[in-house]
Amino acid sequence: MPDHPTLLQTYVWQDMDMAPRFPVLHRFLDFWQRELEGKLNRVRIAHAGIVGPSGSRFVDLQVALH
């Protein structure tokens, strides 16, 4: 919000990218600096390796509702 430069907002962005260079993130940050008036205070990156099937398991349980 350019009208309120002292207000710090949180922006969460999630996308598939290739570590360790993160080309999609760099394109987004370049766009932000080039096109938007709000300044970036901090950028934090979370990385979770290769996306695959989750570790699910079957549980032997019966539940009766009503």
- Report how far residue 56's alpha carbon sits from residue 48's, in angstroms, rounded to the nearest whole number: 17
Collect the ranges in the chain with pLDDT lower than 70: 1-2, 50-59, 61-66
> What is the value of pTM for the model shown?
0.61
The 8-class DSSP code of residue 36 comes to: -
Per residue in 48-57, pLDDT (tens digit) is 776 666 666 6
Residue 26 backbone phi and psi in degrees, to 5: -65, -40
Instruction: Answer whether 24's CB lies under 8 Å from 30's CB.
Output: no
- Report how far residue 17's alpha carbon sits from residue 50's, in angstroms, rounded to the nearest whole number: 10
Q: Residue 44 CB: number of other CB atoms within 10 A?
A: 4
